[in-house]
């Protein structure tokens, strides 16, 4: 099991003071290796046999982070955490996952954070099952399980379909999204390649999902 937590910062600007403080708290408490990868160092982890999608460069910084989360959890395994306050030792949870039949461990999903593709016929059923799902802000994954592979493939399929739209309408803001105030023509919904694909894969493989990980501080200001 890869006992590493990956944290991504895909923006060109520096971390805000709150984020710097949250990153230090995570470093001080996690008890395992932590790799903070920024927009300059993320490319060092691109695998020659699994190149980043050709649409990656057109994504908003938020969507790039969503992409990296799926890419790393599938091809590297280990853990991911948002840059939010997380004050616990991760070792017991790595060990718990390693010694179980689960493929992923995370924190229980707050219902207000649920997202689904509005065209997904399973959307209503997934919403009814929200209490069985986990949040996308912190997790530990075994690499290349059917859960991570479905998650990554779903995201890749969207980028394949929308590549030309993204090329013609790349993100103009770090938080750009479909029909946002930028009027950029950017074609992706806020959660389209991130939480939407993640929650769908967790729903389809929910018998292999553990909810035993503590939750980062989701409601604190972090910008």
Confidence grade of residue 223 (pLDDT, cut at 50, 70, 90):
low
Q: With pLDDT > 70 as the criterion, what percentage of the chain qualifies?
A: 99
Domain ranges within the chain, ordered by starting residue: 4-210
Q: Which residues contact 54 (CB under 8 A, 6 or more apart)?
A: 163
CA distance 65 to 23: 16
Given a cut of 80, whether residue 220 has pLDDT beyond it is: no
Q: How many CB atoms lie within 10 A of CB 164?
A: 10
3-state SS class at 104:
strand
Q: Which residues contact 94 (CB under 8 A, 6 or more apart)?
A: 1, 3, 32, 79, 140
Per residue in 178-219, pLDDT tens? Answer: 777 777 889 999 999 999 999 999 999 999 999 999 999 988
CA distance 216 to 26: 10
- Res 218: pLDDT: 86
Confidence grade of residue 153 (pLDDT, cut at 50, 70, 90):
very high
Per residue in 51-104, pLDDT tens? Answer: 999 999 999 999 999 999 999 999 999 999 999 999 999 999 999 999 999 999
């Amino acid at each position: 099991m890869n006992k590493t937590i990956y944290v991504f910062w895909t923006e060109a600007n520096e971390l805000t003071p709150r984020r710097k403080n949250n990153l230090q708290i995570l470093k001080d408490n996690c008890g395992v290796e932590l790799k903070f990868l920024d927009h300059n160092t993320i490319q060092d982890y691109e695998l020659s046999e699994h190149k980043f999608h050709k649409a990656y460069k057109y994504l908003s910084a938020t969507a790039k982070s969503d992409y990296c989360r799926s890419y790393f959890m599938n091809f590297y395994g280990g853990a991911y955490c948002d840059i939010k306050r997380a004050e616990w030792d991760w070792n017991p949870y790595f060990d718990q996952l390693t010694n179980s039949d689960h493929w992923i461990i995370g924190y229980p999903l707050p219902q207000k954070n649920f997202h689904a593709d509005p065209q997904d016929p399973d959307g209503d059923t997934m919403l009814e099952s929200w209490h069985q799902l986990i949040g996308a802000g912190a997790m530990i994954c075994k690499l290349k399980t059917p859960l991570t592979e479905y998650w990554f493939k779903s995201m890749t399929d969207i980028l394949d379909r929308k590549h030309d739209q993204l090329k013609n309408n790349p993100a103009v803001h770090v938080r750009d999204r479909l029909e946002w105030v930028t009027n950029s023509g950017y074609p992706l919904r806020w959660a389209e390649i991130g939480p939407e694909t993640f929650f769908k894969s967790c729903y389809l493989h929910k018998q292999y999902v553990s909810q035993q990980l503590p939750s980062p501080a989701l409601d604190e200001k972090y910008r």
